[in-house]
Structure 1
Amino acid sequence: MGKDKTSPRPALPTFLLPSLKFPLRPGRSIDFSLFSSQPDTLRCSTCSTDLAFASQIISKGFTGRHGRAYLVAPPADPAAPSSYSTADLINIRVARCESRQLVTGWHTVADISCQVCHTKLGWKYVDAKEHSQRYKVGKFILETERVHTYKSWEDVPASPSEDGKNGRKEGSGEAEADVEFDSDDEDECDEIFAGTWDPEVVAKRRSVQVGYDRE
């Protein structure tokens, strides 16, 4: 017998369709969302070697040899053993110090490169002649052309009750991640120099200042 040419064809072959069905309970559905299972990291664009956590970025408004650059703080881990130095970023090589005239004046810097592929990534601030620039000492410039941000995502059920378990603070959202260091603010410069700069505290202080300005 010939097939009826007028009958519509199925959208998918039947052998591709699942043979078992698992219905959900009436009135209940499951929503899935992307959740970052690990902290975002900065990686070498050439070999993808980890260099720092994205949370170590102090400012995204700096300029390097190849355009935009990040000002990055060294890792601060009080649990690290005494034999482990946290003065430098991980997986980098620090070259010899040299005096260099930058946009903001004379600084003593040391070029840094990836320890794995030897790609030049930026430099480390070792000293600064101007007092207003000393907040940079001990910190690093990472060129955005030489590094990229790596995000690790996974599917997890979205539930409002799990917000606290996932380490997210209610009401804070992503505000803390958007707070950047303001080099024109004297209070923030003092805090950076003293090692007490906190993005959450700065965000609250700025919101209060905005309220005063509106009044």
Structure 2
Amino acid sequence: MADSVTPRLYSCYKCHNLISRHDDIVSKDFQAINGRAFLFSHTMNVVLGPQQDRRLITGLHTVSDVHCRDCGEVLGWKYERAYEESQKYKEGKFILEKFKIVKDNW
């Protein structure tokens, strides 16, 4: 009988609501206002804020803040649109600030 592997997960640091899986990390090499951030391909149990244009380190992007569905904490943002061709790979992906997420099932 094969051992079942428990996925490594990330949760909201405030209320421990499940937010994403370790396997959904695209890159750990991102910078947010308050420090390091991870780029994720998928999230769960979040609510998106209104879209707005923001000038980030890598140029102008249309983003939506990502809020925890349970406690409302802002955890990062979703890239809705990138205006520079070299940044298009970020579209539809999520930035979560490292200090706002905690490891679960590790």
Task: Using structure 2 for the length normalisation, give the TM-score.
Answer: 0.93
Of 15, 26, 39, 1:71 maps to: 39
Q: Which runs of 5+ in 2 are unaligned?
A: none
Residue 50 of structure 1 corresponds to 18
Shift of the alpha carbon at 1:52? Answer: 1.1
| Residue in 1 that maps onto 2:61 | 107
Any residues of structure 2 matched to 1:1-215 within 5 Å, and which? 37-74=5-42, 89-152=43-106
CA distance in 1, matches of 2:64, 2:84: 18
Offset, 1:148: 1.4
Cα deviation per residue 1:138-183 (whole Å; 9 max; x = unaligned)?
000000010012125xxxxxxxxxxxxxxxxxxxxxxxxxxxxxxx
Aligned residues: 104
Q: Secondary structure at the match of 1:125?
A: strand
The Cα shift of 1:37 comes to: 4.2
- What's the secondary structure of 2:88's corresponding residue? helix
**Structure ranking higher on relative contact order (CA contacts 8 Å, 6+ apart):** 2
CA separation of 1:41 and 1:101: change in aligned 2, threshold 3 A = same
The answer for unaligned runs of 5 or more in structure 1 is 1-34, 75-88, 153-215
Segments ≥4 residues shifted beyond 2 Å? none
Q: Which has the higher helix share?
A: 1
Once the two structures are TM-superposed, the CA of residue 109 in structure 1 deviates from its matched residue by 0.3
**Inter-partner Cα distance in structure 2 for 1:48 and 1:65:** 22
SS of 1:38's equivalent in the other structure is coil
How many Å separate the matches in 1 of 2:15 and 2:50?
Answer: 24
Q: Which residue identity does 2:57 align to in structure 1?
A: V
